[in-house]
Amino acid sequence: MKRMAIILAAGQGKRMKSKLYKVLHPVCGKPMVGHVLDTVGKAGVTRNIVVVGHGAEAVKSYLGSAAEYVLQEQQLGTGHAVKMAKDMLGKEEGTTIVICGDTPLVTKETLEGLMELHESRGAAATVLTAHMDNPAGYGRVIRSNEGSVTKIVEQKDCSPEEDAVQEINTGTYCFDNAKLFAALDKVTNNNAQQEYYLTDVIGIFREAGETIEAYMTHDAAESIGVNDRVALSEAEGFMRQRLVRKHMLNGVTIIDPSSTYIGADVTIGSDTVLYPGTMLKGNTVIGEGSVIGPNTDIEDSTIGDNVTVKHSVLSKAEVGNGSSVGPFAYLRPASKLGENVKIGDFVEIKNATIDNGSKVSHLSYVGDAAVGKNVNIGCGAITVNYDGYNKSVTEIEDDAFVGSNVNLIAPVKVGKGAYVVAGSTITHSVSDNDLAIARVRQENKPGYADKIRARAKAKKNNKNS
């Protein structure tokens, strides 16, 4: 059976009080509508229609070709929003999920269970519900003695008996597609808000004698719809717990889950250890057996197996197997480390490749450079890559040695096996196996220090007189 989804993403989200369109607010690093689209896809939906309105272009720009789009120019209720998809889906046969773009916590397993129940019972509609100890503010799902749904009642319209019901409507539904659009043609806006409500379809089905089912999620947190910053924070908290648990069950050791942040799209191999203060964001991939943290921020980076990263920041970088980074290192975009590379304390790497076995141990800057294998770059050495107008490249070939406090003025090349003496400023390329020294010969002037002190003291006395 064909499975489709209509994702409602047209509301403005005024309560967010934000310039950012509501469904684009991130939860664990991914916009809410992105979570929803990914989840329906994993649940077996093959066609996605996103109903857009306010911020339509921003939503389209983010989701791209992953969905089809229909515009709801006027927000006249959920029923009206779904009806906007009629020209695209009205003639289709199959199952259609209707879900809001601000419900990032709904899981694949829940949507699969919802659709399986719906299809096995031949229902016209199946409502996703949740049990809440305190259901205040939510519509109640009223069932018959046989368990089928008889109606959904908003709290303000509940009788005392209905108000005591703890099963609530989450706002996610499963429909027989053809019956859905036929019923939508009968929905009116004869209500105080003068809007077309999707819930009215349930009453239309009931009057027609159709089967209406309900599927209760095992986790009430899945029902959270984010309408303000408080709910956004709650959703973030639940998602963080879910992600941390998933990684731990997959073999990752997380020393302190409460102080560890893992984004929704992060991949971590087994036997990796995360120490407190670790933040893993974007499309970061970490291999097996690595040790990350404490106090480390990694975004959109690829980390190999058996890597150590401590007290450091990595952005769009690659780190090969067996390498170590930090403490207090900064790997900027397009930094690529080979295997068994050492990047030590207070080292910054930018747009540079450092090949296997090389070391930049401390207090150095390597930018716009290609560093070969088994190279040693001493303390305080830098590649001088920018002249105020253009960036130039430094090349350091295999087995070269760059001493402490060396300036390599790009563009320049240090050949294979070459040796650059500490304190040198290199402006010309160094051939293979050559030694380069570029500094003024030291000269000691006996007793001259006393003359300098006397001169300084006299200057001070003249100033004070």
Q: What pLDDT is stored for residue 95 in this prediction? A: 98
Do residue 317 and residue 355 come from a single domain? Answer: yes
Return left, alpha or beta for 166; rule: phi > 0 is left, psi -120 to 50 is alpha, else beta: alpha
- Mark whether 362 is an active-site residue: yes
If one counts the domains in the chain, the total is 2
Domain range enclosing 52: 3-223
Please identify which of the residues 25, 80, 247, 362 carries the catalytic annotation.
362
- Residue 239, H or E segment: helix 229-249
Distance of alpha carbon 212 from alpha carbon 222, whole angstroms: 21
Cβ atoms of residues 156 and 137 within 8 Å: no
Do residue 12 and residue 156 come from a single domain? Answer: yes
End-to-end alpha-carbon separation of the chain, Å?
Answer: 99
Mean pLDDT split into 10-residue runs, the chain, 465 residues:
96 90 96 98 97 94 97 93 96 97 97 97 96 88 86 85 92 97 94 87 93 94 94 97 98 98 98 98 98 98 98 98 98 98 98 98 98 98 95 98 98 98 97 95 91 90 81
Nearest partner of 106 among 194, 42, 189, 15, judged by Cα:
42
376 is in an annotated binding site: yes
Q: Is residue 101 part of a domain?
A: yes
Helix 200-207 × helix 177-184 angle, to 10°: 100
Whose tokens are 């036997």? That residue is 271
Q: Is residue 442 part of a domain?
A: no
Distance of alpha carbon 283 from alpha carbon 267, whole angstroms: 8
Give the pLDDT confidence of 137-160 residue by residue, as tens digits. 888 999 888 888 888 888 888 889
Q: What pLDDT is stored for residue 136 in this prediction? A: 85
Do residue 271 and residue 418 come from a single domain? Answer: yes
Pairing of strands 407-409, 285-286: unpaired
Q: Say whether the peptide bond before residue 333 is cis (omega within 30 degrees of 0).
A: no
Count the Cβ atoms, other than its own, within 10 Å of residue 398: 17
CATH number of 428's domain: 2.160.10.10
With pLDDT > 70 as the criterion, what percentage of the chain qualifies?
A: 100
CATH number of 150's domain: 3.90.550.10
Do residue 409 and residue 301 come from a single domain? Answer: yes
Distance of alpha carbon 325 from alpha carbon 360, whole angstroms: 10
Distance of alpha carbon 353 from alpha carbon 372, whole angstroms: 8
422 is in an annotated binding site: yes
Do residue 214 and residue 251 come from a single domain? Answer: no
Do residue 249 and residue 204 come from a single domain? Answer: no
Q: What pLDDT is stored for residue 4 in this prediction? A: 98
147 is in an annotated binding site: no
370 is in an annotated binding site: no
Pairing of strands 212-216, 253-254: unpaired
